[in-house]
Chain A
Amino acid sequence: MGGYRFLEDVAIADVAFEAWGVDLADLLSAAGEATFAVMADLAGIPEELTRRVRLEAPDPETLLFAWLEELIYRKDVDAVVFSRFAVKVTEGPLLRLEATCIGAPIRQDQMRMRADVKAVTYHLFSVERGEDGWRARVVLDI
């Protein structure tokens, strides 16, 4: 089962997190949650809408970066916050991601919002496959 934790005292004006998952899809889902947990208390986000995301990338690092970048882009364009993700990754010549993002339109007066995420950075960015699954480290620009 995937999860994440925020890393203290790394790029202190911004936010760093570590995410993990039993497989790559699980890791991507956890990293998506971590990114939105920076912006809102996810416990209070109703499940009112879904958005589909499809991406392809040559390797897990590029896929994770593209995935988080897409989520940050949609947050601004559609003014939405996502709290849950159903992610599927299929391997082939390219890694192919298909995801359903579940969340709600941002309503500041009804949601506990936090700090906006401006971008995903390459600083200390890593994706690793270990014996017990996948692990990634990400620094987000606030």
Chain B
Amino acid sequence: MEVKRISEYVWEIPPTEKPGMLVPARIIASAELLAEMDRGVFEQVTNVACLPGIYRYAICMPDGHWGYGFPIGGVAAFDVKEGVISPGGIGFDINCGMRLLRTNLTEAEVRPRLRELVDRLYQAVPAGVGVKGFVKLSRSQLQDVMVQGAGWCIRNGYGWPGDEGRIEDGGRIAWADPAAVSARAVERGIGQLGTLGSGNHYLEIQVLYPENIFDAELAAALGLDRPNQVVVMFHCGSRGFGHQVGTDYLQIFARAMPRYGIRVVDKELACAPFQSPEGQQYFGAMASAANSAFANRQVITHRIREVFSDVFKRDPRELGLEIIYDVAHNIAKVERYTFDGEEKELLVHRKGATRSFGPGSPGLPPPFDRLGQPVIVGGSMETGSFVLMGTRQAMEEAFGSTAHGSGRTMSRTAARKKTHGRDLLKRLEEKGIMVRAASYEGVAEEAGFAYKDISQVAETVDAAGLSRRVALLKPIGNVKG
């Protein structure tokens, strides 16, 4: 496949490379990361470039890897009138995302209590296969969660006033339609609020060392304001509720496609016109699942505040456990962009990609209207994670998007063969990282060597202008599903 270099970090596959491509496919990567990308990325990003109504180009981020349908790291924008919506461009884990909390504590204060803290967090935030959360919802309460998102939690005692302002879209997507959600999705999700999940989902205690600050002013503006500061980051989504919404609509769209004359090369790219009844129903169901994911992360935030308060015998407000930000990295939204002087309304799909709105972008509340939107890029449990800031250039070149993680380079079975979870936990403990996991084998699957170098990913999106590095956070404690 011909891959042309457009600039140092932008590579393009022209539409002549595959029958049916409507626009070019672009990969944002350093030469080194591009060389490491598996062949699935090239196939999948060019498949996305064939979907009806795609605008300008299909994009894959530097952490991209072979997914199902879209590549992970995929970004695609569709004309809202002529284009499609595709559950495969969002992923089954609707609004899988990252949340970062700050504290006033330093590593020196936390280290002596670290084991207790990790154990208590493991108990308070259930992780792994088949666990239930502590919030018992009735069906009508789950409907309220679908519509109100994080706000429902805050009004019901699981949060603080002001938390919403630190969550993408205020923790509530306005176009949720619970009537478009199946009874199966409700059954599957009703007991799972406040659970972490498994796979690459985690909850981590991290430290901001002074040498890992890239932009001190921005860091301070976000609340990263003291040497060796302890923060808490976690990665999770809409759990079985969202997984079922994705599953339901994938089948609905697969059946509907012939009616709309749509053919796709991979059935996982099943889609429907955005303006069709099926398209609009999925959009409403997806928003309901997205709001439940915001609620899930809000309830987990509440549990974290409780645990820190219990362990340190201080009020969580006094401990400064405020939200720095919360991002969604599996979602589709209608957004406005100006290209060549013309304003366009586009349905932007992000599957394993983070919104990276720059300063002055519409819809950002203070202080982010001035600073830009914070971006949280989670790494493996060994390497650390990045906080970055959205840029105007991301708006111009990548539909306001950037990377979301470090990206896998090794299969789960291969990782499991290479190390045993118990040995890995021991090695991590020797390095000062305390891990509690629901599954030893799950730990082995998430070993650092199974991932790309996150620093390279962050460096690339920074150099490519899609987001600016603010700080690197290093793990000292980890709860894994």
Contact = CB atoms under 8 A, between A and B. Distances in A.
A114 B439 contact: yes
A108 B132 CA distance: 12
A12 interface: yes
B438 interface: yes
Nearest to A107: B130
Interface in B184-229: 184, 187-189, 192, 197-200
A22 interface: no
Interface string B247-258: 100110010000
B129 to A, nearest CB: 4
B414 A8 contact: yes
B67 A106 contact: no
A12 B66 contact: yes
A115 B412 contact: yes
Contacts, number: 146
A77 B246 contact: no
A70 to B, nearest CB: 10
A113 B243 CA distance: 20
Interface of A is mostly: loop
Interface size class of B (residues with CB under 8 A): 35 or more
Contacts of A76: 130, 188-189, 192, 240, 243
A141 B68 contact: yes
A89 interface: no
Interface string A1-20: 00000101111111100000
Interface in A36-92: 39-41, 65, 69, 72-73, 75-77, 79-81
B88 to A, nearest CB: 8
Interface of B: 38, 40, 65-69, 72, 88, 91-93, 128-132, 184, 187-189, 192, 197-200, 240, 243-244, 246-247, 250-251, 254, 266-268, 270, 408-414, 438-442, 445, 481
Interface of A: 6, 8-15, 39-41, 65, 69, 72-73, 75-77, 79-81, 106, 108, 112-116, 118-125, 139, 141-142
